């Protein structure tokens, strides 16, 4: 019945999201019922040709899914799922590019107004993407009226994916936004210490350990951002890789935290000479607070790594059910 399952899987991804389970359950029960009834009559399993003959009258998965959608005026139900998916991906990529461009503007020492202007282009970029994608699909929809639909073969359906994605698209997009914010913050940190210290930046600064950890943390952040982008575009293909990368980046966090605990120099130093050597030694107090904070981060990260690994190793991926 593999061909039936592949058909149902292909239909599922083109249905309205809130109705996928219900529709596929009903359609699946009917098709499996038909297969079992025929197998009982024949006293053997159906051949590939017989399964194909059962599916052909139902139409291509896109045609079947389109029958469950309401007709929209500009873009018909056949193209609607592809339109929505293309729009999601294009808007996501456009937003990431725009935010990175704003970060680069900021790092290059531009005035805050220039950075806000760069971010202010975001709605315009989104509207432009919406316009072009819509225009392209309207043209495609129009062209479809004059094209005889090609014959389709159930055998050409893509195979069932071996594993379900370990992250949902919504979760992947949330993670991606987190990565973009973190990388932007980290890139700006050396030139704008107030992003870490607030008003205390007037008398606090970073010590030499920041120079040692800066590049590894930046590279890890950028790699997380890129993998996060891929996972947001295709959770099925990249969700599992993103989960493993999360564990790897948590390991980097542990190494950085452990190194900071052993470092001879303080990560945060007092830059105002009048405060050094005062009674109650502020420098010492900050060092103790940072040490406690680093130990807490280290313990939490190790616990997270163990939890993530147990989840990934215990469930190497549920087989896909439709």
Partner 1 sequence: MLHTVTRITPTPARGAQALDERLDGFRLELRRGCLVLAVLATLRDQEHYGYTLRKTLALDHLDIDEGTLYPLLRRLETQGLLVSEWRDEDKRSKRFYRLSADGAVALRQLVGEWQALTASLQRIV
Residues lying near partner 1 in the complex (CB under 8 A): 23, 25-27, 29-34, 57-59, 63-64, 67-68
- The nearer residue to partner 1, 123 or 146, going by C-beta atoms, is 146
C-alpha dist (Å) from residue 29 to 24, 38, 225, 265: 8, 14, 41, 67
What is the smallest separation between the CB atom of 320 and partner 1, expressed in angstroms?
A: 19
Q: What SS3 state is found at 126?
A: helix
Q: How far is the CB of 150 from partner 1 (least distance, A)?
A: 17
Whose Cβ is closer to partner 1: residue 26's or residue 111's? 26
Nearer to partner 1, 58 or 286 (CB): 58
Q: Which is nearer to partner 1, 69 or 163 (CB)?
A: 69
- The minimum distance between CB 152 and partner 1, in angstroms, equals 13
Nearest to 67 by CA among 54, 86, 81: 81
The minimum distance between CB 156 and partner 1, in angstroms, equals 18
Q: Are 92 and 169 in contact (CB under 8 A)?
A: no
Q: Which CB, 58 or 320, lies closer to partner 1? A: 58
At 226, list the tokens. Answer: 């890129």
User: Environment class of residue 97 by beta-carbon count within 10 Å: exposed (0-12), middle (13-18) or buried (19+)?
Assistant: exposed
Least distance CB 319 / partner 1 (angstroms): 19
DSSP string, 68-114: TSPP-SSS-TTTHHHHHHHHHHHHHHHHHHHHHHHHHHHHTT--HHH
Q: Which of 163, 168, 180 is nearest to 231 (CA)?
A: 168
Residue among 35 and 129 whose Cβ is closer to partner 1: 35
- Give dist(CA 28, CA 139) in Å, integer: 34
Query: Cβ 27 to partner 1, closest distance in Å?
Result: 6
How would you classify residue 149: left for phi > 0, otherwise alpha for psi between -120 and 50, otherwise beta?
beta
Give the total residue count for the chain: 322
Find how far residue 220's CA is from the centre of its chain.
16
Query: Distance from CA of residue 89 to its chain's centroid?
Result: 11
Task: Using the minimum distance from each CB to partner 1, give the nearer residue, 149 or 198.
Answer: 149
Min CB(21)–partner 1 separation in Å: 12
Which phi and psi (to 5°) does residue 204 adopt? -120, 150
Q: How far apart are CA 22 and CA 60, in angstroms?
A: 20
- Minimal distance, residue 64 CB to partner 1, in Å: 5
Give whichever of 55 and 227 is closer to partner 1, judged by the CB atom: 55
Task: Provide the token pair at 42.
Answer: 């024949």
């Amino acid at each position: 019945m593999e061909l039936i399952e592949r058909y149902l899987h292909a239909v599922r991804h083109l249905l309205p999201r809130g109705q996928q389970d219900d529709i596929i359950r009903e359609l699946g029960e009917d098709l499996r019922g038909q297969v079992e009834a025929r197998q009982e009559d024949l006293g053997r399993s159906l051949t590939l040709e017989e399964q194909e003959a059962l599916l052909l009258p139902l139409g291509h998965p896109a045609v079947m899914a389109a029958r469950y959608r309401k007709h929209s005026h500009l873009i018909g139900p056949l193209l609607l799922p592809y339109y929505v998916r293309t729009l999601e991906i294009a808007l996501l990529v456009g937003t990431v590019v725009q935010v990175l461009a704003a970060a680069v503007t900021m790092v290059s020492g531009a005035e805050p107004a220039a950075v806000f202007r760069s971010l202010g282009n975001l709605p315009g970029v989104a509207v432009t993407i919406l316009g072009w994608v819509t225009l392209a699909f309207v043209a495609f929809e129009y062209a479809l009226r004059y094209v005889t639909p090609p014959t389709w073969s159930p055998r050409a359906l893509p195979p069932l994916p071996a594993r379900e994605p370990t992250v949902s698209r919504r979760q992947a997009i949330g993670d991606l936004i987190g990565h973009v914010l973190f990388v932007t913050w980290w890139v700006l940190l050396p030139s704008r210490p107030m992003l870490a210290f607030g008003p205390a930046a007037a008398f606090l600064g970073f010590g030499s350990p920041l120079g040692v950890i800066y590049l590894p943390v930046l590279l890890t952040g950028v790699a997380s951002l890129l993998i996060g982008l891929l996972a947001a575009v295709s959770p099925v293909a990249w969700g599992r890789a993103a989960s493993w990368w999360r564990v790897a980046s948590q390991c980097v966090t542990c190494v950085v935290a452990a190194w900071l605990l052993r470092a001879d120099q303080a990560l945060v130093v007092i830059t105002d000479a009048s405060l050094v050597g005062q009674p109650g030694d502020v420098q010492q107090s900050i060092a103790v607070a940072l040490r406690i904070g680093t130990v807490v981060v280290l313990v939490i990260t190790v616990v997270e790594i163990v939890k993530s690994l147990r989840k990934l190793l215990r469930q190497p991926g549920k087989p896909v059910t439709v």
